[in-house]
Structure formats: structure tokens, C-alpha cells
Amino acid sequence: MQITFDPHNAQECATIARLLGTTAQPDTAPAAQPDTATAEPETATAQPETAPTWTPDQAQPDTAPAQPDTAQPETDCHGMVHDDTIHSTPASKNADGSWRAKRGQKEAYEAAIAAATQGPAESAPASMPMPQPASAAPATPPAPIDYKTMAERFMAKMADPDGLPAEYEAIYTALSIGYDDLETNQTSIARLSAYMDAVDNGDDHDGCVRHAMSA
């Protein structure tokens, strides 16, 4: 349904309103309230700057290392340091620059002076090194034995029934002598010569062999 009315006609508007069951509500929005808030004055006041308070426990400890006492003790003309046991107290010196002796300590005082003025004890003389025995000179090798002379001597003993204590073959075997190089082997020649020396000394075959092999 469409209703046509003149919006400028108050009566028609009222009639339409009744038909619709509503009544126009006047605009009752409250008027804007004026801002009555007043700015509060800033009451904060600046705090005065206070200097830090110094307390004794805040003092820095003195960390400088203590210097050692390098002062030398005073000495008298004898180089002695004052000793209350033998020197008078308070310390005083005689005209010659020595400490005054303590009453009743004359002997100890003089003994101390003698010890201070005595020179350092002489060190005992160093022990003389023992002479070293002269090194033995190298042994001179024996002169080579002439084969012909040795052979003639051996043949003479072989010809003598009592000249040798054993047969020549047993002697050669015991002395490890070979036939092939006997004329040039100086070891074999020397052993046969030493064997005959032992024979001349009266040794038996075994004794002659031991002497020849150790020669």
C-alpha cells in the first residue's frame, strides 16, 4: 500500500503518524556541556641536587708495596755491629771508633774484636793429584824366528831318543801345525820353538803343549 501526503502539512503528518502508530519524538539530545575541567597546575618541584656523601669505608686502600728497609746497620772501626751483650747501652764509641765495652764483658768483648779483625781462615791446600802411572808401552812383538834355525833344532831333538817326549806327528797335531805352510807360517814356527823350550825345562808333552799354545 502506498500513502501520499504533504510533508509540509502538519495535520497530514500527524494523521500519518497515528496510522503508523508512532509519534515523532522531538530531538532531546542534550546540549554539549562546556568543558569545565581546569588544568591542574604542575605541582612537582625540582629536587635540589645533593652531593654524594663520603664515608671513611669508601677510602681506597693503599696498595703500594712496602719498600724493604735497605739501611745498613752502623758498624764500628772493627766492622762490628752493636751487640747489647758485649757493648754498652746506649750505644757509644771510644775515641778510636770502636764500640764501648759493656761492664763485666771485657773478655767477651776482646774475643769478639779478635774474631772480627782476624782475616779469613786460610783454606787448606788442595790435595795434590796422585800421579798417574805411565801407560804401559805396547808390547814389542817378538822378533820372527828363523825357520831354518828352528828346523835344525827340531831335527836334532828327533834324532835324540830322549830329545822329544812324543812323536813329531802327535806334536804337530797338538799344536795345530800343518805341513804345507810350516816354512812360512810364523805362528807354527813359534809354537814349535816354544814347545822345545818347554822340553828343555823338563816339561812333559802336555806341559810343553800348554806352554807352546800360550806363548
- What is the tens place of the pLDDT at every residue in 147-199? 999 999 999 999 998 889 999 899 999 999 988 888 899 999 999 999 999 99
Residue 212 buriedness (CB in 10 A; 0-12 / 13-18 / 19+):
buried
Q: Cell 793429584, residue?
A: 129
Query: Which range is least confidently modeled, 15-19, 41-45, 191-195, 202-206?
Result: 41-45
Measured CA to CA, the distance from residue 99 to residue 95 in angstroms comes to: 9
pLDDT tens digits, 49-105: 665 565 555 556 556 666 766 778 888 888 888 898 888 888 888 878 888 888 888
Band of residue 10 on the pLDDT scale cut at 50, 70, 90: confident
The grid cell for 8 is 509540509
- How large is the average pLDDT for residues 114-139? 68
pLDDT of 24 over the 50 cut: no
Higher-confidence residue of 119 and 70: namely 70
- Percent helix, strand, coil in the chain, to 5, is 35, 5, 65
**Amino acid 23: pLDDT:** 47
Length of the chain: 215
pLDDT value at position 12?
A: 74
